[in-house]
A and B are shown apart, each in its own frame.
Chain A
């Protein structure tokens, strides 16, 4: 207990010291005002204590004073807002070259899936100095993925993906906590983030028993669930789709990110691609979170090369009859 005692957390990510700097600024500014008020109150209480009977002068109001202590706090507050906002935008804008890792939260454990195949429970191995993008969802209730040493956190929600990114700047093992109350063992839904030198990480990834990569499993699912029947013919081709802009039937454009892919599988009619009919069945209730990840990894792996040509909305010359697949 004593040995581990600290008053300030470790700083182990590219963003953590930036958060700490804002924190110290806030401590300084607010500390000043707290001290000011405390000192003034103490001073006035003593200096103007009631010593003998006497009337007090009527209070003179002062609009200038009011304006001053409105405007100055407002200006200071705005600096805090801007600084915090800039930091936040940076915290949730993953770099393009970040490596993806999937996280599934469930009562009461964390399941990690590396795209190359390795799976972990309650542990996340990452390489030093590389941006890591976590794509997270929950199998049941809302959880929250929190690594204090990295100063990062995001809720993990059933029914959609949340994205969190970080770049570890220190080797070592760091606490992972669930930070959204999720039932009986909420406080035991903890884990570790292990930051390794990049070479060690590659070796670890290769591991002793390579699990099948999710993309391979996803390819199999793509066939067995009948996706291949339509996609590539009367349904939009999926080659090169990931992270492209897609034009929708209502005229708007949307980015085909992981949430878009997920939504298209679960609620296909939410966003209809321009030039196509809303006939894709919903797979809601038929896929586990792991299977969803596998399908998405497969779709991401589809490059232009020997697959179908670059994705663009197909131009239909005649309306297709609506059809429901089994």
Chain B
């Protein structure tokens, strides 16, 4: 057993939170836990902004002719996409729960590169500030996908500023991914072999591989767009013999793996929660672990499924469709394994568990609609319609945001030492689940009917379904506001949580809540697998 060179003398109440209250101690911290909190505050703010844009969009869509000028609507959906994808979903679980929990879960004092971690937060905020400048200056109207030649030569909005902001924030992603990979490889506690790692770590490891390999391609693609905006000449310009479809290949080479960046961490969270609240090791542990890696690998091979009608050859389309079906299989394996984990378990439907089960249900629905769009003959009809919008929102919002909220609720006692009011938690989870369905299920119907996406105005035949969707969105909005309120409330008024309120396995629950700055008094030694619930003291009902 190795001994830490730095032995922390623990005061009975010293935690990473009360160690120092100065602003400087927060802004210059190297503590992964404080950095996680900094990130959490930032992305919550960004989520509210992106959500506000969505609210305005859905209000506009109440009537076919719309309430606002099309230019404004176009800017709103662009900013909604840019903020939600790059400034909320991609960071979400990795930078909050990942940063906070990974060192704790593997028995380390911090991540491998704490200063890089802090730099990563500053870069992230800087990227957002640059994008926010574009917003304030008048917005951008290209869609978050920046297709050339519209974005490079025709849009009259602040494209350069926006892509610059996203470019900057991309380095934050890369550094976080790099940090996680090195940490998991080199800083596991003695006895913590790869197959004793919690599945949350496997998921984040797979996510980090995608982060480091895919993000640079986006970075250079955005550089090419920015270059053409500034100089007026570029490689996507048909007048020079340039190929606008090349942009799409380069863009989707990142942006498809990006969706796996967005969902894999949520899957990791679900594994933890389902295991804990059924008091069962996750069924098929190794299969779930390898499924994460398979998703990461296969996810790099399917980008062309965004381009079935964009001008790629039939042969390319066939290959990408086939591979897209393959990538669905590891996700299916996970869903079956999570369901099997419940079998003969001892289940409690606490708030985190409700979020996790909601994730599984909504991910199953969103995932199977992926099978629809992977089918070449059907995608021709539904591509660029609300069917696609519904498909990805079922996964991004239905699953991933629920996964994020599940993570926050599950680890909230560890992060803050407080419990939130349970019934408000369950009520919010339920509200979100129902509001979500009402918002997005009608959009499947709208899409197959033929309503294209990114439409500021639409044909009257689509109105009823749009009204239903907006009604759902208002309920969803309420569901999101509630946790914001009661979680903040619990900071001050919540009951004390103790080190392990859920009776969960995992090293993070072996330290006090909140943990001391250096996490562990003594580096733990691991002697068993991740979810040894059957060897634990039975938990109370």
Contact = CB atoms under 8 A, between A and B. Distances in A.
Are A and B part of the same complex?
Answer: yes
B448 A190 contact: no
Interface string B441-462: 0000100111011111111110
A182 B153 CA distance: 12
B460 A26 contact: no
A84 B321 contact: yes
A4 B451 CA distance: 14
A8 B444 CA distance: 11
Contacts, number: 283
A58 to B, nearest CB: 4
B371 A41 contact: no
Interface stretch (B39-47, B143-151, B161-169, B493-501): B143-151
B376 A153 contact: no
- Of B154, B242, B346, B536, the most chain A CB neighbours within 10 A belong to B346
Interface in B63-112: 70-71, 74
B348 A53 contact: no
B377 A8 contact: no
Contact of B325 (A5, A18, A29, A78): A78
Contact of A23 (B283, B326, B372): B372
Contacts of B337: 66
A54 B344 CA distance: 12
Nearest to B380: A153
Contacts of B343: 44, 48
A44 B339 contact: yes
Categorize the interface residue count of chain A.
35 or more
Categorize the interface residue count of chain B.
35 or more
Contact of B154 (A19, A56, A178, A183): A183
Contacts of A77: 325-326, 328-329, 371
B538 A53 contact: yes
Contacts of A56: 278-280, 344-346, 533-534
Per DSSP, chain A at the interface is: mixed
Nearest to B368: A30
Nearest to A161: B311
Given A48-B345, A53-B540, A85-B318, A58 B311 contact: no
- Of A26, A34, A81, A149, the most chain B CB neighbours within 10 A belong to A81
Contact of A9 (B242, B380, B450): B450
Contact of B317 (A6, A23, A37, A88): A88
Contact of B461 (A4, A18, A19): A4
Contact of B149 (A1, A48, A141, A149): A141
Contacts of A85: 318, 321-322, 376-377
Given A44-B339, A59-B341, A159 B244 contact: yes
A285 to B, nearest CB: 7
Contacts of B142: 181
Contacts of B453: 179, 181
Interface stretch (A68-76, A196-204, A207-215): A68-76
Nearest to A150: B381
A154 to B, nearest CB: 5
A305 interface: no
Interface in B512-536: 533-534, 536
Interface string B244-255: 110000000000
A188 B457 contact: yes
A56 B347 CA distance: 10
8 contacts: A45-B349, A50-B541, A56-B345, A56-B533, A74-B326, A81-B321, A181-B142, A184-B141
